[in-house]
Chain A
Amino acid sequence: MRALRAAIVFIAAVFVAAGVFFLLAWRSEIPEDAAAAQASFAPDLVAKGAQLAALGNCIACHTVPGKPAFSGGLAVPTPFGTIYSTNITPDRETGIGGWNEAAFQRAMNEGVDRNGSHLYPAFPYDHFTRVSEEDNRALYAFLMTRAAVKAEAPENDLQFPLTFRPLLACWKLLFFDRGELEPDSGQSEAWTRGRYLAEGLGHCGACHTPRNAFGAEDRDRNFGGGEAEGWQAYAINKDSKAPIPWDEQSLAFYLRNGWHEFHGVSRGPMAEVTGNLSALPDSDIMAIATYVTSIMGDPTPERGERAAQLREQFEGDRLEQTADSQSSLVSASGAGSGEAIYIAACASCHEGRQRQPFGGLNFELSTAVNAPNPQNIVNIVLFGLPPADGEASAVMPAFRHLLNDQQVADVLAYMRERFSEEPAWAGLVELVANTRSGAHKVTIRPSDGIERAPHNVGAEEG
Chain B
Amino acid sequence: MSISLTVNGSPHQIDADPSTPLLYVLRDDLALNGAKYGCGLGQCGSCTVVVDGEAVLSCMVPVMLLEGREITTIEGLGTIDDPGPLQQAFIELQAAQCGYCIPGMMMSAHALLRRNAQPSDEDIREALATNLCRCGTHMRILAAIRRAGELMKAASLPESDERRAG
List residues of A whose CB falls within 8 A of some B CB: 324-326, 328-331, 335-336, 340-341, 343-345, 348-349, 352, 354, 358, 386-387, 389, 395-397, 401-403, 407
Residues from chain B with Cβ under 8 Å of A340 in the complex: 18-19, 62, 64
Contacts of A395 in B (CB 8 A): 42-43, 130
| Minimal beta-carbon separation of B130 from chain A (angstroms) | 6
Chain A interface mostly: loop
Extra 13 A-B pairs, beta carbons < 8 Å, given A324-B40, A345-B61, A402-B61: A326-B24, A326-B40, A336-B64, A345-B62, A348-B60, A352-B41, A387-B130, A389-B125, A395-B130, A397-B57, A401-B56, A402-B51, A402-B56
The size bracket of the interface on B is 20 to 34
User: Which DSSP category, helix, strand, loop or mixed, fits chain B's interface?
Assistant: loop
Q: Does B123 lie at the interface of the complex (its beta carbon under 8 Å from any beta carbon of A)?
A: no
Does B1 have its Cβ within 8 Å of any Cβ on chain A? yes
Cross-interface CB contact of B65 among A325, A396, A402, cutoff 8 Å: A402
Total cross-chain contacts (CB, 8 A): 77
Chain A, residue nearest B65 (CB): A402
**What are 27 residue pairs bridging A and B, where the CB atoms are less than 8 Å apart in the complex?**
A324-B40, A325-B21, A325-B60, A326-B24, A329-B19, A330-B18, A330-B64, A340-B19, A340-B64, A341-B62, A344-B18, A345-B60, A345-B61, A348-B40, A348-B60, A352-B41, A354-B41, A358-B43, A387-B130, A395-B43, A397-B57, A397-B60, A397-B130, A402-B51, A402-B56, A402-B65, A403-B65
Is the CB–CB distance between B18 and A335 below 8 Å?
yes
Residues of B within 8 A of A348 (CB): 40-41, 60
Q: B14 at the A/B interface (Cβ < 8 Å)?
A: no
Q: Does B52 contact A (CB under 8 A)?
A: yes
Residues of chain B contacted by A358 (CB below 8 angstroms)? 43
CB distance from B65 to the nearest CB of A (A): 6
Closest residue of chain A to B125 (Cβ to Cβ) is A389
Contacts of B92 in A (CB 8 A): none
Residue of A nearest to B16 (CB): A331
**A324 CA to B21 CA, complexed, in Å:** 11
The chain A residue with its CB closest to the CB of B51 is A401
Instruction: State A326–B62 Cα separation when bound (angstroms).
Output: 10
Instruction: Chain A residues near B62: list those with CB within 8 A.
Output: 330, 340-341, 344-345
In the complex the two chains form, what is the Cα distance from A343 to B42 in whole Å? Answer: 15
Q: Chain B interface (Cβ within 8 Å of chain A)?
A: 1, 17-19, 21, 24, 40-43, 51-52, 54, 56-57, 59-62, 64-65, 125, 129-130
B136 to chain A, nearest CB (A): 12
Q: Report the bound CA distance from A328 to B21 in whole Å.
A: 10
B71 CB to closest chain A CB (Å) equals 12
Determine the distance from Cα of A291 to Cα of B129 in the docked complex, in whole angstroms: 38
Q: Complex formed: what's the CA distance from A324 to B61 in Å?
A: 13
A389→B121 CA distance, assembly (Å): 14
**A325–B40 CB distance below 8 A:** yes
CA distance A325 to B25 in the complex (A): 13
Chain A: which residue is nearest B42 at the CB level? Answer: A397
Beta-carbon contact of A349 and B130 below 8 Å? no
Q: How far is the CA of A352 from the CA of B40 in the complex (A)?
A: 11
Q: How far is the CB of B61 from chain A (nearest CB, A)?
A: 6
Please tell me if the beta carbons of A330 and B56 are within 8 angstroms of each other in the complex.
no
Chain B positions within 8 Å of A396 at CB level: 42
Residue of A nearest to B122 (CB): A66
Contact A349 B19, CB 8 Å, known A335-B64, A402-B65: no
User: Which residues of B sit under 8 angstroms from A386, Cβ to Cβ?
Assistant: 129-130
Known: A341-B62, A397-B60. A335 touches B41 (CB 8 A): no
With contact pairs A329-B17, A330-B17, A395-B130 given, residues A341 and B65 touching in the complex (Cβ less than 8 Å): yes
